[in-house]
Amino acid sequence: MRSVFLALALASSAAAATPFSADTLSHAQSLRQHAMSSDHAFEVVESLTTEVGPRLAGSDGDARAVAWAKARFEAMGFDHVRLEPVTIPHWERGYADARVTLPFPQPLVITALGNSVGTPEGGIEAPIVRFATLADLEAADPAEVKGKLAFIDHRMERFKDGRGYGPVVKARGQGAVAAAKKGAAGLLLRSVSTSAHRFAHTGVMRYVDGVAKIPAVAISGPDADQLTRMLQRDPKIQVKLELEAMDHGETTSYNVIGEITGQSQPEEIVLIGAHLDSWDEGTGALDDGAGVGIVTAAAGHILALKQRPARTIRVVLYAAEEIGLIGAKAYRDAHQDTLAQHYVAAEADFGAGPIYRFDTRVNEQALPAMTALQQQLAPLGVERGHNQTWGGPDVSVLPPLGVPVAGLAMDGTDYFDYHHTPDDTLDKIRPEAIQQSAAVYTLFAWLMANAEAELRPIPMPQP
């Protein structure tokens, strides 16, 4: 009797220390086993990248991706599958060519940055002027820049967590404006890339009102090095640039949404997301077909249980992330009345994994509960991280409105080798990595949808 009593007391004490019921944990264990022997996530990316391929927001591929996602969600048996319209700009790349004309004529491997204007008919030909960083360009004497192609040669550093991206990508977004302010004719950006290969990496750039719109392209790392070698021999290197970028005005894309309706608290939402759009030159396998596969498979694994979670699990495949989080902002605005019922949100948008760390942005009182959740992820190799995440690009617009978020940090060591290039294709995804990531998202969604813990109000950085 005594040992039975003790066991019950321990069980009860364990229950008190955890936000999860024994039943929830028991299902978590079978979900973990199921997910770690499932190829579902890989199959989803394989289907999307093969049958749809590139899906730049606004393109035919984008429309096909939306239809693909809706059909798949319906076939899987999600509840309340729907398309939520998003008004987006439709930019198209067209023809692009760049070559050194003097004194060492040869072609360059380039790609237009997303949103760039084209060149006038016949292209532009101008000397180049090199800057090590955006800051150096901003500090330059306009007389040095006027009429030239400003060449920003900032090399990205490789890290597991991708933190080399932030300091360099600023030049992609703002470089053309900074160059135009000095009178430049165009921008040549060293690709935001860790790759040793000759791919140019695209990505969105921005103009601002009142500053001339000049064409902006990325050149591959080897080409940036080549230009630098040329400049060491001769300060007068002339480049000809022809871009045919087309602005097709506004069109409509869609956030694609499917749900597993909660059993006892259906109005409360655990949101797991990824973005459905991609850049146009690769097939968007790592960015963000992998995320689509991970969150779709995670919800699919839970759907296969006989039991429904307490809260609703909502899968959101965002539109038009690449061209400025447009689907994310549309979701936020369309759902403003129910954001208070969003229990937590997380997005997978950093490749295929594996996931190595669980970050959060929740109330400090909930940190023990988050540790309890991480302990369920620990068998998959996931450690506890910090409480300062923004949860992924599309869900990062939610914490300012009070929504708790989680970040399931993926190993991104190689992510920027492929990011936004033609080389972002299915073969770059390791099946065992995406399987683990999908398993982590499965457990995360299941446990969050059943957790007994108050995650609000969330801490926010002080302005």
Q: Please, is 166 exposed, middle or buried when counting C-beta atoms within 10 Å of its C-beta (0-12, 13-18, 19+)?
A: exposed
Nearer to a second copy, 364 or 427 (CB): 427
| Dihedral sign computed on CA atoms, order 68, 71, 73, 75 | negative
Distance CA 366, CA 372 (A): 10
Kindly state whether residue 288 participates in binding Zn ion, applying the rule CB under 5 A. Answer: yes
**Contact range with a second copy by CB under 8 A, out of 123-131, 195-203, 330-338, 435-443:** 195-203
Out of 82, 181, 198, 384, the residue judged to bind a second copy by CB under 8 A = 198
Out of 24, 27, 54, 458, the residue judged to bind a second copy by CB under 8 A = 54
Which residues are known to be catalytic? 321
The 282-321 site mask, x for binding a second copy (CB under 8 A), equals xx--------------------------------------
**Contact range with a second copy by CB under 8 A, out of 262-270, 280-288, 308-316, 399-407:** 280-288
| Min dist. Cβ of residue 429 to a second copy (A) | 12
Kindly state whether residue 163 participates in binding a second copy, applying the rule CB under 8 A. Answer: no
Residues 6+ apart with CB under 8 A from 181: 142, 211
Using CB under 5 A as the binding criterion, the count of chain residues that bind Zn ion stands at 4
Out of 280, 349, 359, 394, the residue judged to bind Zn ion by CB under 5 A = 349
Distance CA 1, CA 157 (A): 63
Closest CA to 56 of 253, 244, 210, 334: 253
Helices (H) and strands (E) in the chain, counts: 13, 16
Kindly state whether residue 281 participates in binding Zn ion, applying the rule CB under 5 A. Answer: no
| Min dist. Cβ of residue 422 to a second copy (A) | 5
| Min dist. Cβ of residue 420 to Zn ion (A) | 6
Out of 146, 197, 236, 386, the residue judged to bind a second copy by CB under 8 A = 197
Query: What separation in angstroms does the CA of 274 have from each of 100, 290, 328, 463?
Result: 40, 8, 10, 28
Kindly state whether residue 236 participates in binding a second copy, applying the rule CB under 8 A. Answer: no
Burial 284-307 (b: 16+ CB within 10 A, else e): bbbbbbbbbbbbbbbbbbbbeeee
Using CB under 8 A as the binding criterion, the count of chain residues that bind a second copy stands at 36
Distance CA 313, CA 315 (A): 7
Kindly state whether residue 235 participates in binding a second copy, applying the rule CB under 8 A. Answer: no
Burial 186-207 (b: 16+ CB within 10 A, else e): bbbbbbbbbbeeebbbbbbbeb
Q: Where do contacts with a second copy occur on this chain (CB under 8 A)?
A: 46, 49-54, 60-61, 100, 104-107, 109, 196-199, 221-222, 225-226, 229-230, 233, 281-283, 421-423, 425-428
